[in-house]
Amino acid sequence: MPKYKSYNYAQEMMIPVNLERQLVPGSLEFAIHYLVDQEIDLSGFEARFKNDEEGRPAYDPRILLKVVLFGYSRGIIHSRKLERACRENITFIALSCGQTPDHSTIAHFVSSMQDLILEVFRDILLVCEKEGLLGGTSFSLDGLKLPSDASKQMSGTFSELAHKKKKLEERIRRLLKKQIYKDRKDKDGEDSRDHQNREKQIHRLKRRAEKIGRFIEENAPKKSARGDKELKSNVTENDSCKMVTMHGTIQGYNGQALVDDKHQVIVHAEAAGKGQDYQHVESMIDGAKENTKAIGLGADFFKGKELTADSNYNSTSSLRKCKEEKLDAYIPDPYFRKRDPRFKNQGRYNPRKKRKLFKLEDFKYNHESDSYVCPGGEKLTIRAHHARIGLKDYKRYGAPEGVCVKCKLIRRCMPSPTAKRKYLAIDLGHPPEDLIGKMIKKIDSEKGRERYDRRLAIVEPVFANIRTQKRLDRFTLRGKPKVNVQWLLFCTIHNIEKIVNFGSGFA
């Protein structure tokens, strides 16, 4: 029989550990340890404590910030997992100096950083500037849309939410009737498992209906930017919004980031509950100016600099803001690829036969009501007096919602089989020279295409790092201020990694 070395799991061992030696110079954990202690001003946290003479000693905010930053760098977001890491992981133990803050302390610390997180971000940005990581010549703006801690099923306009509440109440009444009938039928009068489950279900539905009712009473409907349309509210997380992404429709936030070209350092970041990217250009540029001013680069730092952004940011207001700030912007319109000669021969394969569709002549125009009547007899009213498509303006007419899907002529009317409503675009010709028209000519030039193509290499690696490497696939906090803290913490640790990889690293 072979001989093995003896072992006993019941034996006790004393392992000497020097916590400071676990933080190796040149590593990310050492950089976090050094920066939090030497470069980040946390005096704002100290003003919250009033236990100088009485009261229990509190955890040092520096300890908690080190734990949170390193946890986020490893994709550990939840406070319970961070608490466990402080007990089991030697690197976390070294950063926390052997202290074991509980999950409620960690969660409260993150949530309470709403007024101070921007100062922490700026302190790290100042270190990036000292380390020579900011090129300061070219910047790129983009957004990352992520789900929030909210349910899509609890979204809707106020009328839709009221209808949802009514349906829940009707379902409760049906369940109560069923329960009364079952109770009468039960001769022994004993509660069965079905009876208990039904009571739990009724209680759950009542809570949901009451929650919707309170929300409708305590809140006002959301309005669009123009104020002419009601947006969908969310009962569980009203600061978030429904957004269409390449992964489907989500209820979440739009994490914006303005990134420097040289080493992909984030110069400003903000999480917002607006899905349309063009609505964030003004606030992102103003926020970046405040950051550069705070770290000593001056409020005019961005004048004459280059800014690239994708077509979702193209709007008159965005281009006007860039012009006011004297930014050399490259923001294409949605149709710029169709005009690009490099994509001329890359048409999509479509084996379907072309259908004979109705032409504009088949729609009868009424001068008095400024409307059209389709071959099916439905009235198309004005939807937009000036709709921009490429370099031209169009007047847009549309059919009422829901009538086209019932029409027998839909196959001859709709160019797409998935379309649900007919629209007519009446050509108004070439508009006067304006900001969007100038940007179209700028993007269509050889220099414009070359400068815009650099955008992918500047900003997309940042979101790849945060979403894939840091595993931020959803926001776990509720409310815009708290979500903004979480987003800025991830952007801060991203910048710290740049200091480690491209700066001195404090080795």
Q: What single string gives the DSSP state of each residue in 73-95?
A: HTT--SHHHHHHHHHH-HHHHHH
Helices (H) and strands (E) in the chain, counts: 17, 15
Q: How far apart are CA 216 and CA 286, in angstroms?
A: 34
Q: How far apart are CA 475 and CA 478, in angstroms?
A: 8
**Which residues is 242 bridged to in the sheet?**
251
Q: How far apart are CA 4 and CA 14, in angstroms?
A: 24
- Torsion sign, CA atoms 462, 467, 470, 475: positive
SS (H, E, C) 308-343: EECHHHCCHHHHHHHHHCCCEEECCCCCHHHHCHHH
pLDDT tens track for 76-113 = 999 999 999 999 999 999 999 999 999 999 999 999 99
Q: How far apart are CA 126 and CA 133, in angstroms?
A: 10
Residue pair 271/255 in contact (Cβ under 8 Å)? The answer is: yes
Beta-carbon contacts of residue 205 (< 8 Å; ≥ 6 apart): 168, 171, 172, 175
- The whole-number pLDDT of residue 506 equals 65
| CATH number for the domain running over 124-149+242-342+435-491 | 3.30.420
pLDDT > 60? residue 71: yes
Q: Which residue has the tokens 């084996």?
A: 351
pLDDT > 60? residue 351: no
pLDDT > 60? residue 350: no
Reading the block at residue 102, the tokens are: 């509980």
Q: Is 337 left (phi over 0), alpha (psi -120 to 50) or beta?
A: alpha
Statement: the pTM of the whole predicted model exceeds 0.85 = no
pLDDT > 60? residue 349: no
Q: Give the pLDDT mean for 434-446.
A: 88
Among 7-11, 35-39, 291-295, where is mean pLDDT lowest? 7-11
Q: What's the mean per-residue pLDDT of the chain?
A: 89
pLDDT > 80? residue 474: yes
Q: Which residue has the tokens 């979480």?
A: 486
Residue pair 488/480 in contact (Cβ under 8 Å)? The answer is: no
- The whole-number pLDDT of residue 177 equals 87
Q: DSSP code of 1?
A: -
pLDDT tens track for 199-228 = 889 999 999 999 999 999 999 998 887 777
Q: How far apart are CA 183 and CA 180, in angstroms?
A: 5
Query: CA angle 378-381-386, nearest 5°?
Result: 145
pLDDT tens track for 114-166 = 999 999 999 999 999 999 999 999 999 999 999 999 988 899 999 999 999 99
What is the number of other CB atoms lying within 10 angstroms of the CB of residue 127?
Answer: 24
Q: Which helix (H) or strand (E) holds 449?
A: helix 446-453
pLDDT > 90? residue 406: no
Q: How far apart are CA 111 and CA 22, in angstroms?
A: 29
Beta-carbon contacts of residue 429 (< 8 Å; ≥ 6 apart): 392, 393
Return the domain boundaries, the chain. 19-49+57-112, 124-149+242-342+435-491, 158-220, 360-427
pLDDT tens track for 214-265 = 999 999 998 887 777 888 999 999 999 989 888 888 999 999 999 999 999 9
Q: Give the pLDDT mean for 309-314.
A: 94
